[in-house]
Structure 1
């Protein structure tokens, strides 16, 4: 027997210490509920778990962002609903004013209510906000000009009594900023008619008719527009006006009148001055055909296609972050629901004809509002589906992270019990190992 060193006791002691360390770790896991309390517990698992936790927190914030977006959409929808109700009332009383049995004073009373309802729509569009963001005033919309490269329509009159009955254009966009006719510039975004005049003396008898608009387009509305050009003539040389951005050549005291959206009418006139009335922006498009009529005469129009770069309207949409990563976004384009943009400017019901025209304007405005509400309803549904997917991703990722990071309590308690039993056994064996050395002292006493 070797007395200086008790190998059995040392081995038992080392085992006892190891069991004590493992038991302490087990207690820590049971108390915290986490399998990984430090990097030493499971360094790869800790890295994966931390990455998952970051994603989970991002998904949870995205869920809150989506709910904010849904609240914004519901705010817009509520405001558009109010505008729609107002327009319904406007249409109702405009139809009432269209009735021929009403007197002027009756229609004047209706006009007063129309005016107040108009102001109500403007108030809603100007003051509807979400977190200080204006939602319906169109402040987020910017327009990008387009260009017209070329359009030319020619024909030659062989009889001065012939007149152009109609030219029909297919308009898809409209002009903004300025038009030039001859040497006179006209701002086209007008809320009321704008007049300008110039005169050409002694026009030739049989010049060519040329329509050649050049210049820029920008995005605005072409609906509910009335435009009149009267007594537009050639100069004394018979040449087109070459310095203008917009050129019209009509011979023999003919007036050109633009009605509504898609019909251009030229008819005979004897006036000597040119007058241009603009109640809205000009348009761009392609001439689709015309007929010259007088005493049974007809002639086809020769035309060239308008080559355009259409104007575009861009906006700064409200962009929602709907996920934890860059690019996980959802864009909400806010509408412009101001009365002017809805084509409600200048509504007049003080006579029967204007009241009937007002009904048409209001009906188109209601159609626009309905379309906008439908769009925001689609936004709402899309966000609800995105929210459901984000929530599902968060739940599944949380479950996966939990399996990596959290303690399996039943398994860990089993380990704790095992370590406790082994630790007690080690204590007993250590005591026994120490007692074995005492037997040597017992022998020495004899």
Structure 2
């Protein structure tokens, strides 16, 4: 037993100090919420955590940078959008000015608006800024390479002559001589036309020094076409012996029992006939139940009369003597329909003079002949001639009465009718002969030939501008480290660069060329907008990635530096209990020297 050193108390004191330190450390972590409050807590962890914090704060700032870059691009694209709207309006005005319904005064007003809009494009380009940085009127381009070229191609085209032939039938006085193909007229015209086109394409490229740049490829084409045209008209007149133009023909209109007589294309030059039917004193409507195909000889039409048992078959036959036989076969199947009258009205050829079979002209006025069987009348017209013959020898009954109306200086007319009693079940055949016919003309084929000969000279001038350039760029820091950046190019869209500074609709400007220049400007601005649109989409993905990286790094840094509150609270409780136990043992350790003092009494 010793009293110089109280080793038990010393050991208890040492443990008390350790437990107090542990308790203090846990209280610090619980108070701050951090597992690492000083380097001694976790030196390596602290170093890793601080690097992560630098990355996290860099990412958060990069996110703000990306949003600023997006705003800058939106500002530039907004200006380009308005410039596009102006170019579209200028194009609309140019098309309006090309229309010849406008007067010179109208075009002056159109031209003034175009020029004011041109000034506004330059104004927008110079005033579109972001944080005082000009975006659309940059002239600090770095031209890397330019490869201009010019090519002119001349061509001559002499296409084969084109002939258009038009043939008609002409009726001319007998003995008119034929005319061989001969030139009637010739005329020369010359027309010069110009067309213009401009195409422009801007493509991202990698320059020779590894920088990002662009290639601008613009093709401007002017085509001048001069067309010399000779139009020659030839005519010819040829005598025809084609029967279809000299022999009789006939046709009818549905619903009108009217027959027109004449060769092809001459209508009713031989006259016309109209038929009506009376049954028991009443005029009856007729209907056709069948007709032969046109051109059939004899032609046959079957007619019937609604509400009756009466039918008529009419035959019309062209005879060898150039006349026509008109025959009716009338069939009755009902005694109530026995009283039948067929009335015909015949208009002879135009301007006819009527004479009898002996050539004696008929008297002016009305001539009535009862039972005209055996009668022949000749009709000599101004353009054609015909005869009408009523003769029982033809094999069928002649009309019962004929009235010839022969007014002085007017068109004559023949009215004849058959009054019949047709018993039920009986068939009666009647008719007459009309003709022979003759023309007072010879038939010719008139040919008109239009021959067009052209000589076409075409000149195509092609200007190509092929330029590699690096525009002024704004570097956007889009990440937490060096090199994490995206470049935003700044373009020049004033009217000089767009090639639309001198467009209009008044001389010396050529409206067609101005239209092409406007199309080229629209295409160029659309290319720039495409670049900005692609960059904006890229920045959106960059922002999403930066946000994700910041979130994930924050989570990782939290796992390193943040305290596990449950675990730390458990450790604190444990340290407190040990501290209390150690304090009790320290008190017990103080009793050992006291026991030695009792022995010394």
TM-score band (shorter)?
A: 0.5 to 0.7
| 2:551 aligned to which of 374, 395, 403 | 395
CA distance in 1, matches of 2:218, 2:28: 74
User: How much has 1:444 moved relative to structure 2?
Assistant: 3.4
| 1:430 aligned to which of 586, 590, 594 | 586
Q: What is the aligned partner in structure 1 of residue 562 from structure 2?
A: 406
CA distance in 2, matches of 1:320, 1:16: 59
Q: What is the aligned partner in structure 2 of residue 16 from structure 1?
A: 16
Q: What is the aligned partner in structure 1 of residue 482 from structure 2?
A: 326
Q: Which runs of at least 4 in structure 1 moved beyond 3 Å after TM superposition?
A: 145-148, 150-153, 163-166, 219-228, 442-445
Task: Give the conservation status (yes or no) of the 8 Å contact 1:86–1:121.
Answer: yes
TM-score, normalisation: structure 1: 0.64
Distance 1:72 1:426, change over 3 A: same
Q: Counterparts of 1:11-410 in structure 2 under 5 Å?
A: 11-146=11-146, 164-165=154-155, 263=461, 283=464, 311-350=467-506, 354-410=510-566
CA distance in 2, matches of 1:107, 1:397: 67
TM-align CA RMSD? 3.4
CA distance in 2, matches of 1:104, 1:46: 83
Task: Give the conservation status (yes or no) of the 8 Å contact 2:503–2:509.
Answer: no
Distance 1:388 1:423, change over 3 A: same
CA distance in 2, matches of 1:138, 1:165: 43
Q: Which has the larger radius of gyration?
A: 2
Q: Which moved more, 1:10-19 or 1:403-412?
A: 403-412
Tell me the secondary structure at the aligned position of residue 337 of structure 1: coil
Task: Give the conservation status (yes or no) of the 8 Å contact 2:217–2:464.
Answer: no
Task: Give the conservation status (yes or no) of the 8 Å contact 1:226–1:258.
Answer: no
User: How much has 1:25 moved relative to structure 2?
Assistant: 1.0
User: How much has 1:440 moved relative to structure 2?
Assistant: 2.5
Gaps of 5+ in 2: 157-197, 201-214, 225-456
Distance 1:152 1:96, change over 3 A: closer
Task: Give the conservation status (yes or no) of the 8 Å contact 2:62–2:480.
Answer: yes
Task: Give the conservation status (yes or no) of the 8 Å contact 2:498–2:521.
Answer: yes
Q: Which moved more, 1:54-63 or 1:388-397?
A: 54-63
Which has a greater percent of strand?
A: 2
Q: What is the aligned partner in structure 1 of residue 575 from structure 2?
A: 419
Task: Give the conservation status (yes or no) of the 8 Å contact 1:49–1:404.
Answer: yes
Per-residue CA deviations over 1:354-402 (Å, capped at 9, x if unaligned) read 3333222222222222222222111111001011111111111111111
TM-score, normalisation: structure 2: 0.48
User: How much has 1:152 moved relative to structure 2?
Assistant: 12
User: How much has 1:63 moved relative to structure 2?
Assistant: 1.1
User: How much has 1:142 moved relative to structure 2?
Assistant: 2.0
CA distance in 1, matches of 2:199, 2:105: 40
CA distance in 2, matches of 1:152, 1:124: 36
User: How much has 1:316 moved relative to structure 2?
Assistant: 2.7
Task: Give the conservation status (yes or no) of the 8 Å contact 1:29–1:407.
Answer: yes
CA distance in 2, matches of 1:164, 1:97: 31
Per-residue CA deviations over 1:180-229 (Å, capped at 9, x if unaligned) read xxxxxxxxxxxxxxxxxxxxxxxxxxxxxxxxxxxxxxx9885668799x
Distance 1:311 1:366, change over 3 A: closer
Tell me the secondary structure at the aligned position of residue 317 of structure 1: strand
CA distance in 1, matches of 2:150, 2:222: 22
CA distance in 2, matches of 1:105, 1:330: 53
User: How much has 1:342 moved relative to structure 2?
Assistant: 1.4
Distance 1:172 1:337, change over 3 A: closer
Per-residue CA deviations over 1:411-446 (Å, capped at 9, x if unaligned) read 11111111111101111110111123222333434x
Q: What is the aligned partner in structure 1 of residue 381 from structure 2?
A: none
Distance 1:85 1:63, change over 3 A: same
Tell me the secondary structure at the aligned position of residue 502 of structure 2: coil
Distance 1:108 1:9, change over 3 A: same
CA distance in 1, matches of 2:52, 2:503: 60
Tell me the secondary structure at the aligned position of residue 495 of structure 2: coil
CA distance in 2, matches of 1:113, 1:152: 35
CA distance in 2, matches of 1:139, 1:151: 26
Distance 1:143 1:95, change over 3 A: same
User: How much has 1:135 moved relative to structure 2?
Assistant: 0.8
Which has a greater percent of helix?
A: 1
